[in-house]
Amino acid sequence: MIRSLLATSICLALAACGSPATTAPELSVEDRFAAYLQNTQVSEGHGILNVMEGRFAAEVRMRQSPDAPEETTEGVMENRLILGGRFLESRFRSADSDMGPFEGRGLMGFNTFENRYESIWVDSMGTFMQPVLHLQIDAEGRTLSGTSSEYDYFEERQVQRRTEMRILDRRTHEFTMYKTAADGREFVDVAITYTRL
């Protein structure tokens, strides 16, 4: 009984020490939900997605290592805005591949909570999803760039990548992915030029 009263007294004393002037008022559930909803709307950051919407011819250049010869292929990328303009859905198709027809799917959006662009990719050359790529936009609003680390199942090692997406104009944009080789050299392993059809 005495222990219970003592514990209650200590709790009341500690609660009284908190000054109302230093404690921020807690938002109601309704206010928190309203603030959340405000951050789920299409924002100015989504504008660059509009520029990339459409059907594009893709000229693809690939290299397996810094010293390997460059391989080229062509394809078509179709981008469309979905979910009220919140995300850009990409569908890529190329008939020219050593493994047969190649297809890929991507999603890109602007995370208003984190103030960054996020992108994910899957394709017919793997059974795994590429890690979510986090991108920032430059001051001119034309180049998205970011770095990532992923496991390369072919080379059986963790690799570092750097990605850039440059909007040249409404008709043309470029995608470049850099990879760090086992010897530490960085090289362009994928470069794609998209031209609006």
| Mean pLDDT of the 175-182 span | 95
Q: Does position 51 have pLDDT exceeding 90, yes or no? A: yes
- The pLDDT of 6-33, averaged and rounded, is 57
140-179 b/e (C-beta count within 10 Å ≥ 16 → b)? eeebbebebeeeeeeeeeebebebbbebeeeeebebbbbb
CATH superfamily ID and name for 46-196: Calycin beta-barrel core domain (2.40.128.20)
Two tokens, residue 28: 């109601």
Q: For residue 96, what pLDDT is reported?
A: 67
pLDDT, residue 191, reads 97
At residue 16, does pLDDT exceed 90?
no
- This prediction has a pTM of 0.80
Is the pLDDT confidence value at 28 over 60? yes
pLDDT at 21 over 60: no
Query: What pLDDT score does 99 carry?
Result: 65
The 10s digit of each residue's pLDDT in 91-121 is 999 976 666 789 999 999 999 999 999 999 9
Note the pLDDT tens digit of each residue in 55-64: 999 999 999 9
CA-derived radius of gyration, the chain:
25
Task: Note whether 130 and 119 are within 8 A (CB).
Answer: no
First-residue to last-residue Cα distance in the chain: 82
Q: How long, in residues, is the chain?
A: 197
Better-scored residue on pLDDT, 168 or 2? 168
Q: Is the pLDDT of residue 173 over 80?
A: yes
Residue 167 or residue 18, greater confidence: 167
